[in-house]
A and B are shown apart, each in its own frame.
Chain A
Amino acid sequence: MIATMKNVVKRYGDNMALDHLDLNINQGEILGLLGPNGAGKTTAIRSLTGLIGIDSGDIEVFGKKQSLNNKDIKREMGLVTQEITVFNDLSARENLRYFGSLYGLKGADLDSNVDRVLKFIGLTDRASKRPKSFSGGMQRRLNIGCALVHRPKLLIMDEPTVGIDPQSRNHILESVKQIAAEGTTVVYTSHYMEEVQAICNHIAIMDTGRVIAEGSLEELVGRIQHEDTIRMIALAPSDALTESIKAISGVKSVTVVGTSYTIVSGADSGNLNRIMEVAVGHGGIANIAADKSTLEDVFLTLTGRKLRDDGEGA
């Protein structure tokens, strides 16, 4: 365990931002902290990084008790802020040098780490340029790079892909996986469930200041998924086909609209192959697919609300 938060309470006036939050971060994992805006994700990571005090509870990082301005802990952590917080009046290289120096790097060590990060974020050929001449995606990459110069053991990324194009987002997600593969533990907050699904091997879903569920993607989905939904387009729909599918053990219902069949079956019944066999025997199929539950479904089931408001984000 690289960090733990136990029973953490943080209030802002009457608003309880963290409501007895419990969270464990394991060495080497990418922990996805998922939740809607206002769930308490940012407050949780600011508490974890020792940037704000807490009202009660315990936070331990690297086996040491976290507190405001604990320099020993801060030295081993990196923070990627939600907003781009690099210096626009400094070049990319100067930005990396400055942030590296704040963590005590100097001389050849600083130079080599800056070169390493420039290469990693793909900005070596633009090292002498200022960020204001960069695209949004490049600025985001530099924003991430500034937290990597000192090789942190624990990297905290607060919604690092807000407002960028899909291509840059993919580049960043791949980078995060690479960072973790090199041994850095990553805490990744987002309200984009697709990102968390794609990169995180441990997911904690937050709402109203608490972790309401955690585990791997499979574990979380398994908690809510009691049925499989299979959608099929039959080449020769018929009553005989419908009855044959209904007769398969575990199939709960079959709905037919034109050539389109929607079949609900018990979870993990393995009925997809059987249905395909039956359909092929009755004139063949044009298309067949099984719906998979997502984190969005998990969140909806747990809270009765959608993770994102309609139209928000990408």
Chain B
Amino acid sequence: MRRGLRPGDLVSGIAALVALFALLPVGFVIWITIQTGWETATALVFRPRVGELLVNTVLLEACTIPLTIILAVALAWLTERTDLPGARIWSWLAVAPLAVPAFVHSYAWVSLAPGLHGLFAGVLVSVIAYFPFLYLPVSAQLRRLDPAIEDAATSLGLGPWAVFRRVVLPQLRLAICGGSLLIGLHLLAEYGLFVMIRFDTFTTAIVDQFQSAYNGPAANMLAGVLVVCCLFLLGLEILIRGNERYARVGSGAARMAIKRRLGPATWLCLLLPAVTTALALGVPFVTLTRWLVAGGAEIWRWPAISAALVQTFALALAGAALTTLAAAPMAWLSVRAPGRLQRILEGCYYYVGSLPGVVIALALVTVTVRVALPLYQTFATVLMAYMLMFLPRALIGLRTSIAQAPVELERVAMALGRTPFQAVCQTTMRLAAPGVAASMALVGLGITTELTATLMLAPNGTRTLATEFWSLTSEIDYAAAAPYALMMVLWSLPLTVMLYAQSKRAAGR
């Protein structure tokens, strides 16, 4: 019998192709460094300007991440483990800032206090915009912890504070590491937030360079340094996280944790979520309302707004479909045929998602200009950038839903005369449909508020909600920008609700 081409081979082939494509940005950085030549490269990298940016970046990360960890852990503990009045509402409010894109946060702050700038402002707005990324995993993990372990520590003579420090905190380590990494990468990648409060990072410098000199070697070398920063963060997280297991040992359902009585400290403790909410939701709400009221009917220029809405929706839908389609073979492989090669391929998908949009955009610009000029400044290139940026989101959602479809169904379908490809499509993929929808929503909502890559890659005349908002704020027309900010917030609300529900479900509640 001849061994024909099995569907697994085809799927592996497609997955490998996508993985190869995902290597493009790093390949670009290496290639461009070689092409620039050692001397020019070192001259471009080792100069005071790069040193300045590096100091800024390190300071930003070193101030923002610890503050965010303290805030998120304190909030999570208050909402999950104490009798704080209205804990459920506070926990919703702690996730809600995610619905406000980071650059809308800084828009709100700048219009409230126009003098705000520099490191302090950068740290303040970053903490406010990104703390939900830590709050979500930490509170979910707190809910999952087996309280019996804390009881055991107490019976061994530890006071409440010592129990928290020696038993609870170490078990939160994975959640804290994961969340901090996410925030660290966002800080590296974010453009709009820092431009608005006039704080220079690698990303803002690259976009500046690009806008003045397109893909000159200076911008490319900065991108190289930025990639190194990303890889450094990824490695640091792996190092700190270690490969320890913190899962619950033993069987049976964990008992519910006892809520600690705050007693007279209640009012003091209420201050933390109240102030956080005022800063993270109150400020954007107040500013947006103020601009909307001040602007009146005049700022609702419907033709422009509806054009931006339609274009954003079309881009989001196309990008989401493309990304999900590209992630599907890998997702199927990682569930049905896990192995070493598959893990390496999957690693490519995750790494590219952690790269800043500006690097991906720069790589695509260079490649299209030099290799495939007809693709330069077309929607196809923008969509490819979206695909690379949001591959991990699609992969995670698809993988979990495929894992829930039993492989026996595929076999039964084949026994009933379907070809392997038909069998997968008609059983597993059908059952995974809700997961596909969720992945598409996650990707689509990410695209809606994407700014950097869209600015750099989209054809002239492209108007999305984010770019339109951006050009209006650049002209200091804050009132006219308000409707676009409002639309983006409304768009992002479903995503926020979904993330919140997911974290509750993950904790089994």
The finding on whether chains A and B are genuine partners in a shared complex, rather than unrelated, reads no
